[in-house]
Structure 1
Amino acid sequence: MGLAAMAPNSPAQAQRPADAATIGVAAPATSVDPHFFNAAPNAQLAAHVFSRLIERDARVQLQPGLAENWRALSPTLWEFRLRAGVTWHDGRPFTAEDVAFSLARAPSVPNSPGGYGSFLRMVKQVEVVDPLTIRLHTKQPHSLLPTEIAYIAIIARHAAQGAATEDFNSGRAAIGTGPYRLLSHTANDRTELARNEAYWGPREPWSRVTLRFLGNDAARTAAILAGDVDMIDQVPSADLARLRGDSRVGLFEIQGLRLIFLQADFSHDAAMPFVTDAAGQPLPLNPFKDARVRRALSIAINRQALAERVMEGAARPAGQWLPPGVYSHDPGTPVPAFDPEAARRLLADAGYPDGFRLTLHSPNDRYPNDARTAQAVAQMWSRIGIRTEVAALPWSAFSARAARQEFAMRLTGWGSTTGEASYLLANVLGTYDPAARRGASNAGRYSNPALDTLADRATATLDPEEREALLRQAVHMASEDVALIPLFHLVNSWATRAGLRYDARMDERSLAMGLRRAQ
């Protein structure tokens, strides 16, 4: 992680004010509404405009936010003491009523493709004690409440009451307490922000910030080298070695928490779209309901080759959803061994000796080398008789269709930014149940009641060692059932103009609050 020497100002830099920053981002936010879609690009944008009761630093450790402190008054009652003197961007005072309004709205945003209900599934009652004190009653002991509440953006009741997601996108309802005010948002292009001069936290050095969507890898690299932007994220793996030796940029990297994985569709029992026999006729049964088929697909993948060749060293092979060294990573769940012969035998045992045909859907602008990874997996599957085609789509279209269960098999990603396993257990693998606020991002509709029960036991366990043991059991259970097919964990990287530094984040978010001039 080095920072190169200062380079002369380019013409592009000279045209920008010295206290303005432009960040080239690889994935666009689909909405300004901070409760609409639990996706990293949306949360990244929201973090500039809105605050949370509890914040997370670059190593995903909890830090005081709008709540100065919090404590458990009993196993099922948590109290949050709020900061005094905080104001909204329009100057009105922030109070506990805004928190209560936000917690009520977050799980129930209309047309959400995957919202925040899972984070509040254990909250039974929200009690406003006074303007600066709020208490949350839980259905059962829930040790992770502070961790989960750190995902809920607090919005202004006076601005957002009765507002739709479109009102946030237009700016009318996008009134926050964050370090920046929203000036404008243009979908799939850019978001313009201005410093909040009345921010409750440290003063930001940037008077203006532009989040500029640069989905093309070559375009991002060219922009940072030309000085057109001050920072880019998702540095293309093909450019990492070259940029490390270029005096015009600084490179910052950290092991990330995002797992890239494959998710099968479990919502169909019989014939399903994008899966046919060798002759192109629909299969009578959903093959992914058979664990032997899922296991065959998993061991047919050479994860080391994906990490080394497709990702060019910017990823680590994975057999579970957290990397080694992170709380609740299970040492007893290894990376699946590459064994195409065993995969063929499993397919034959499952009744598919001749394989079948499959379309693998993938985004082409969301994760580093996402479409290339899908193509490599398709080739590996085709070698065991699963003749696979790839359909790669822009993230905006892909995410909406995936949420409607339109794909038989999808390549996607999930960042376990709580730094522990229950985040994915509740959101991605938890049985889809809006009433219970479980499985909000379970687009595949996988369901395993035993796994749900074990996850609930873990989150109700207050002792951290006992909880970790239960979470490891759950990780192993999901792996044995091939609930999803892990591929690799990303290594997060950013490039800045020389003379700037970035506090690289495990949650991969690109925040102006972490971009500073080098000392």
Structure 2
Amino acid sequence: MASNRKKAFAAVAALASASVVLAGCGGGSGSSGSNGNSNTTAKATKGGTLTYYIRDALEHTDPQRVYLGRELTNLDRTVYRRLVSFPASTDTTKATTPVADLATDTGHSSQGGKVWKFTVKSGVKWQDGKPITCEDFKYGASRVFATDVITGGPNYLLSYLDIPLGSDGLPTYKGPYTTKNNDVASFNKAITCQGQTITYHFKQPWPDFPLAVASLGMMDPYRKDKDQGDKSNFQIFSNGPYMVQGKLDHNRGYTLVRNPNYDPKTDNPEIREANPDKIVYDIGKTGEQIADQLIADNGAAQTAVTDRSIPPAYYTQITGSVADRAVNVQSPFTDYLVLNFARVKNLAVRQALAAATNDQGWIDAGGGSKSYDPADSIVSPTVKGYQSNPAFKRPSSGDVDAAKQILQKAGVKTPINLSFTYPSTPTADKQAAVLKDTWKQAGFNVTLDGVANSSTYYTNIQQPDQKADIIWAGWGADWPSAITVTAPLFDSRPNLRKNTNGQDYGRYQSDAFNKFITQAQTASSLDAQTKALQQADIQLGKDVAYIPLEIQKFYLLRGSKVTGYMTDAASSMYPDLGPIGVQ
């Protein structure tokens, strides 16, 4: 995943307590300036054009497929509404407490959280003026089950919704695009509509279901007559305050204008103020080009925001009035390495590689403390279930001698030829070179395989036949439980199929690990779940299924005429388009 994205995964149940807020997705708040998360100018007013500079092409705009933090927050504030959403706030507790959006309230549960009901508001419409119905929500959920068509998005529903599993380990319902051997009856029992009230029936308690709904688009409504399956990947049919003007180009950009059939009386201004008249997404500039324009602060850049962190080479330019337009916040994303178990089968080789990994060198080459915080687990320290993984207690600059001893003791001949795949940028290339140097000292001959097209990076590493030995990836919890981290990334049961690795990029398979995940999924208490998840992470460390690198920090700059600026404390720490406006 590119260094500032949230990516997702496979069907795994989660039983996190609804009382726990999304701390893992939070970040800085408080005063303005380089360490703050608020704006230095007055509250935003209506009107004007906001420009959003984006480097990487869009991966998806289909709500059931979107799984990058940038798109999740941008689309939720502009074109897609949900049953419940998170309000915009610099207070993390408030920002991570769902409020009613398309539903009349935040939902009602019964049977210990196994059944959830929501009633859709009256008077809410699609961009063509037709009403949003309960059946639209049911159809949207049905698309998640078409795992051969609607790929790449969150699919917790595959495990949770009360539908039997077939011999392939997937639900017997296969989505809306096929009639062959399709268990439609079970789906129709699992999700029911009575008037405008939709009811979800789950196999097991899902007490924090509203958090999942507010975080992800898998439950979003979708109009059946607008569905073109995979061809819908870059289409937007709006039910929010904006709609696409003309054609959407996922490589170059698109423009949003006001949706005439959006009624703000049905919405909550804490979620969406919809201040700009127009939002222009400018896609394709490099991080350096974006920084140059925002620092110069001329023309459209004066009313622009970006998802790109300031490149480290520009840090010395962030002073005075420019620094007043910058924020430096910890993101919810942890970067890590995975080893391809189909190719790096020797445990001693994986252990030696981990021992020789120069985390500090990687951090320093990437910009130091303004770019990263250290990590000793794939689980963020702010997520319920975090603990320092004992397998990665090593010098931050790597331990070459320990790595050599591991290989010598195991009788492994050196040099060991391996390849390292990662999304290539000038900064990432420097970071990769640092890792290669220390690995070489330990006896590894590593070929660097930087991928220039980062928009297809995850699609490529999900291929079962990919040739990488070491794979870079990044992850952020979908809500505050380790079950939305270790389980979706390493449970082979829902991930590994003939045509995809899912999010188990290294094709890791462990009965011991899966047993701990099953214990967590069926735990009767949050404490029992947390204990099982901690044991699962220890097992991952023993097997060296991953090597933690760091926790990303975002160093974001904005134009001088942007008002109401804050970052999205609920999910991604990207600019929150809910309250933002322009002078």
Q: 2:65 aligns with which of 36, 59, 62?
A: 36
What code does the residue aligned with 1:189 have?
R
**Alignment partner for residue 79 of structure 2, among 49, 53, 58?**
49
Match of 2:381 in 1: 324
Is 1:293 aligned with 2:355?
no
Report the counterpart of residue 106 of structure 2 in structure 1: 69
Report SS of the residue matched to 1:497.
Answer: coil
Q: 1:387 maps to which residue? A: 445
Distance 1:194 1:450, change over 3 A: farther
Q: Match of 1:23? A: 52
Contact 2:462 2:501 in 1 (8 A): no
Equivalent pairs, count: 483
Q: 2:305 aligns with which of 215, 225, 231?
A: 231
Quick check: 1:3–1:498 contact (8 Å CA) kept in 2? Answer: no
Residues 107, 353 of structure 1: alpha-carbon distance in 2 compared, 3 angstrom cutoff: same
Mapped partners of 1:81, 1:453: distance in 2: 38
Change (3 A) 1:371 1:56: farther
Shift of 1:439: 7.1
Structure 2: gaps spanning 5 or more residues: 1-30, 163-186
Spell out, residue by residue over 1:435-463, the C-alpha distance to the aligned partner (whole angstroms, 9 max, x if none): 99x97322222122332232233233353
Contact 1:189 1:212 in 2 (8 A): yes
Post-superposition Cα deviations, 1:164-209, rounded to whole Å, max 9, x if no partner, equal 332452x4xx213233212232132112112334354224111111
Q: What corresponds to 2:555 in structure 1?
A: 493
Is the 2:120–2:196 Cα contact (8 Å) retained in structure 1?
A: yes
Q: CA deviation at 1:79?
A: 2.1
Name the amino acid aligned to 1:232: T
More strand by share: 1
Alignment match, 1:464: 526
Q: Note the C-alpha offset of 1:101.
A: 0.7
Q: What is the match of residue 420 of structure 2?
A: 360
Q: Which residue of 1 aligns with 2:463?
A: 404
Partner amino acid, structure 1, of 2:405: R
Distance, in Å, in 2 between the alignment partners of 1:137 and 1:474 is 28
Match of 2:217 among 133, 136, 152: 152
Q: Which amino acid is 1:259 matched to?
A: T
2:231 to 166, 169, 174: 166
2:395 counterpart of 1:305: no
Name the amino acid aligned to 2:494. Answer: D
SS of the counterpart of 1:413? strand
Whether 2:543 is the aligned partner of 1:481: answer yes
Question: Gaps (5+ residues) in structure 1?
Answer: 8-16, 269-285
CA distance in 2: counterparts of 1:248 and 1:307, whole angstroms: 22
| Matched residue type, 2:217 | I
Structure 1 residues 89 and 225: CA distance shift in structure 2, 3 A: same
**Residue in structure 1 matched with residue 433 of structure 2 by the alignment:** 375
Partners of 1:189 and 1:114 lie apart in 2 by: 21
* 2:473 corresponds to 1:423: no
Q: CA, structure 1 residues 180+299, in 2 after alignment: closer, same or farther (shift >3 Å)? A: farther
Q: Could you tell me which of 162, 169, 179 is aligned with 2:241?
A: 179
TM-score (norm 1): 0.84
Match of 1:85 in 2: 123
The structure whose RCO (Cα within 8 Å, separation 6+) is larger is: 2
CA separation of 1:369/1:89 partners in 2, compared to 1, >3 Å: closer, same or farther? farther
The equivalent of 1:105 in structure 2 is: 143
Cα separation, partners in 2 of 1:295 and 1:113, compared to 1, 3 Å: farther
Tell me, what secondary structure is at the counterpart of 1:50? coil
Asked if 2 retains the 8 angstrom alpha-carbon contact of 1:359 and 1:408, the reply is: yes
- Contact 2:127–2:243, Cα closer than 8 Å, also in 1: yes
TM-superposed CA distance for 1:324, in Å, is 2.2
Alignment match, 1:14: none
Counterpart in the other structure of 1:258: 333
CA RMSD of aligned residues (A): 3.0
Given that 1:28 and 1:41 are in contact with CA atoms closer than 8 Å, whether structure 2 keeps it comes out as: no
Sort the Cα spacing of 1:147 and 1:247 in 2 relative to 1 into closer, same or farther, 3 A.
Answer: closer
Shift in alpha-carbon separation, 1:232–1:37, aligned structure 2, 3 A: closer
Matched, 1:413 2:474: yes
- Of 439-448 and 88-97, the range deviating more from structure 2: 439-448
> Could you tell me which amino acid in structure 1 is paired with residue 257 of structure 2?
A
